[in-house]
């Protein structure tokens, strides 16, 4: 998967397949033109790469030149095609073969035929590497076709998306935005977010992102991020927003194929909630719900002390740090209930009981959403 500007593209046609198609076209054309020396005309910018590869495969003498017309703006094929530049040589009585990277609506061909009407060429033929039959709206004959493709936006091998992607040696297809389910699993330290996320991620095929786990991983591996986060975490304080937000963004970007995410331990501040909304928005998606595990403070303290016996977590090790984490939760994080409630996305779930019972409660809530 690759990202160009704000869109994702997935591999579609390999370099090998393109190569085979060009080889076949070169052989067919060479046979058809017989002893004549054709003039191949590549239409810039898109056909620069195919023209170069094609003429190397052409087994006989030929001439090569380029003309330029603009055709695409963004991902839509525009109706008005600009004028041509670059046709300077006399083509009277010549066999001219236009090399196009792609033919979709056929608008470019209109222009080509209009331009060549006055050129008194012997014959004008069209060769295109890619052809979208579903999009083609014209009657002009296409003499040589490399590969037929469905009506999808593609980039690579000369084709671009707003200027990017032309240099890719293979072709990629626009990945349509898919519907994602994104949940914020919320609650004070010790509420059971991590435990429940493990079940829910399997059940709903979601990617679980725990910012606490990510920090601990970085601390264990002594990364710069870990060093920075360590002092905050060991006091039971929050790591600064920008550090946390950057880390979270990078993790989400790594999972471009996800059906959705369970965010565990994030967001913890208003700034983080806003950053998360912006991130989801950039993916044409959103947070669907905040699901909060509701547990009394004294139960939390007992649970964390118990966990501290085996977790090896310094922030679970003594009661004063645990109480500080709970205090930080009420001071800085609990307000997010309002943030999501205002968007009708807050769902409270009783977080006391057996792990299994709580998973069932959570599933009921998620299924309703
Ligand atoms: P957790 O595993 O979610 O209990 O997180 C453990 C610790 O990591 C927290 O007490 C914070 O110090 C830090 N941390 C985790 N997530 C965040 C966040 N979203 N913002 C700031 N600090 C965080």
pTM recorded for the entire structure: 0.63
Task: Give domain limits for the chain.
Answer: 2-174, 181-368
Indicate which atom in ligand 1 lies nearest the CA of residue 211. Answer: 16
Residues in the chain where the model's pLDDT stays below 70: 70-84, 177-178
Task: Report pLDDT digits (tens) over 108-126.
Answer: 888 888 888 888 999 999 9
Cβ of residue 216 lying under 6 Å from some atom of ligand 1: no
The one catalytic residue in 230, 313, 314, 361 is 313
Q: Determine the pLDDT at residue 108.
A: 85
Task: Report pLDDT digits (tens) over 266-282.
Answer: 999 999 999 999 999 88
Q: Whose CA is nearest to atom 5 of ligand 1?
A: 212
Classify burial at 270, counting beta carbons within 10 Å of its beta carbon; exposed 0-12, middle 13-18, buried 19 or more.
middle
CATH architecture of the domain formed by 181-368: 3-Layer(aba) Sandwich (3.40)
Nearest residue to 358 (alpha-carbon basis) of 292, 265, 301: 292
- Residue position matching structure tokens 């601390």: 219
Quick one: CA dihedral 65, 68, 74, 77, positive or negative? negative
Domains 2-174 and 181-368 share a fold: yes
Cβ of residue 233 lying under 6 Å from some atom of ligand 1: yes
Q: Determine the pLDDT at residue 70.
A: 57
Q: Whose CA is nearest to atom 19 of ligand 1?
A: 266
- Token pair for residue 42? 């590549």
Q: Determine the pLDDT at residue 304.
A: 95
Q: How far apart are CA 307 and CA 212, in angstroms?
A: 15
Q: Determine the pLDDT at residue 96.
A: 97
Cβ of residue 265 lying under 6 Å from some atom of ligand 1: yes
CATH number of 2-174: 3.40.50.2020
Q: Whose CA is nearest to atom 2 of ligand 1?
A: 212
Cβ of residue 244 lying under 6 Å from some atom of ligand 1: yes
Ligand 1 mean position, distance from CA 239 (Å): 7
Active site residue 325: yes
Active site residue 307: yes
Q: Determine the pLDDT at residue 73.
A: 52
* CA separation, residue 351 to residues 22, 192, 292, 321 (Å): 63, 7, 8, 22
């Amino acid at each position: 998967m690759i990202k160009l500007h704000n869109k994702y593209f997935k591999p579609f046609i390999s370099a090998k397949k393109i190569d085979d198609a060009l080889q076949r076209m070169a052989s067919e054309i060479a046979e058809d033109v017989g002893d004549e020396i054709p003039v191949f005309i590549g239409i810039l910018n898109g056909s620069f790469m195919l023209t170069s590869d094609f003429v190397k495969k052409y087994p006989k003498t030929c001439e090569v030149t380029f003309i330029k017309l603009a055709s695409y703006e963004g991902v839509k094929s525009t109706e008005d095609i600009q004028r041509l530049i670059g046709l300077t040589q006399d083509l009277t009585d010549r066999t001219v073969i236009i090399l196009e990277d792609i033919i979709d609506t056929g608008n470019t061909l209109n222009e080509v035929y209009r331009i060549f009407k006055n050129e008194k060429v012997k014959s004008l033929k069209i060769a295109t590497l890619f052809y979208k039959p579903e999009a083609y709206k014209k009657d002009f004959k296409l003499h040589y076709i490399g590969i037929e493709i469905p009506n999808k936006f593609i980039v690579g091998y000369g084709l671009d998306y707003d200027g990017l992607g032309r240099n890719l040696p293979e072709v990629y297809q626009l990945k349509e935005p898919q519907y994602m389910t994104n949940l914020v699993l919320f609650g004070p330290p010790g509420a059971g977010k991590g435990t429940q996320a493990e079940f829910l991620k399997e059940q709903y095929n979601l990617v679980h992102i725990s910012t606490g786990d990510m920090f601990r991983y970085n601390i264990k591996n002594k990364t710069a991020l870990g060093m920075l986060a360590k002092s905050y975490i060991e006091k039971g304080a929050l790591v600064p927003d920008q550090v946390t937000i950057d880390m979270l963004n990078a993790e989400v970007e790594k999972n471009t194929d996800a059906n959705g995410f369970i965010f565990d331990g994030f967001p913890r501040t208003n700034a983080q909630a806003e950053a998360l909304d912006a991130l989801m928005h950039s993916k044409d998606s959103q947070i669907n719900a905040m699901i909060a595990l509701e547990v009394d403070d004294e139960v939390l303290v007992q649970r964390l002390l118990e966990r501290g016996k085996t977790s090896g977590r310094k922030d679970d090790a003594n009661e004063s740090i645990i109480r500080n984490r709970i205090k930080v939760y009420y001071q800085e994080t609990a307000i997010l209930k309002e943030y999501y409630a205002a968007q009708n996305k807050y769902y409270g779930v009783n977080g006391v009981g057996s792990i299994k019972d709580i998973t069932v409660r959570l599933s009921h809530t998620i299924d309703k959403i």
